[in-house]
Amino acid sequence: MTGGTKRQKDMRKALRALLPRVPMRDAEAILDLALAGHLRHLPPSISLWQATTSHIRHELTEYDALLDEGYDRDAARYFVAEEMNETLRNWGCNKEVSLDHEQES
């Protein structure tokens, strides 16, 4: 995870600040999401937060299974919020997802 464009370097620096203990495989996946075209116009910190919460929600929780069971998006997000926050804490993050809305607290 060295070299690359200025944006890629800025993203890696911001990722280390946001998630100092994130496992390498998760860091790489989050960076890939954060550097995707649809997030390109956002500042690195916002792009990384969106990529981080998306990665955790879809890859490390039962969010998609809840959707498949018929829960709506808001309900499924509510039910996985605490699990997401636990992952964020384990990775050394000082932000959390809200139980009411996806915003940092």
- Residue 105 above 70 pLDDT? no
State the Cα–Cα distance between residues 88 and 79, nearest whole angstrom: 16
Contact between 47 and 11 under an 8 Å Cβ cutoff? The reply is yes
Query: In one letter, which amino acid is 14?
Result: A
- Residue 102 above 80 pLDDT? no
Q: What is this structure's pTM?
A: 0.88
Q: Tens digit of pLDDT for each residue in 18-52?
A: 999 999 999 999 999 999 888 888 998 999 999 99
Looking up tokens 């989050």 gives 30
State the Cα–Cα distance between residues 59 and 35, nearest whole angstrom: 18
Token pair of 29 as six digits: 């996946």
Please report, for residues 8, 49, 88, the alpha-carbon distance to residue 3 in angstroms, rounded to integers and kept in the order given.
8, 22, 26
pLDDT of residue 40: 84
Q: Tens digit of pLDDT for each residue in 50-85?
A: 999 999 999 999 999 999 999 999 999 999 999 999
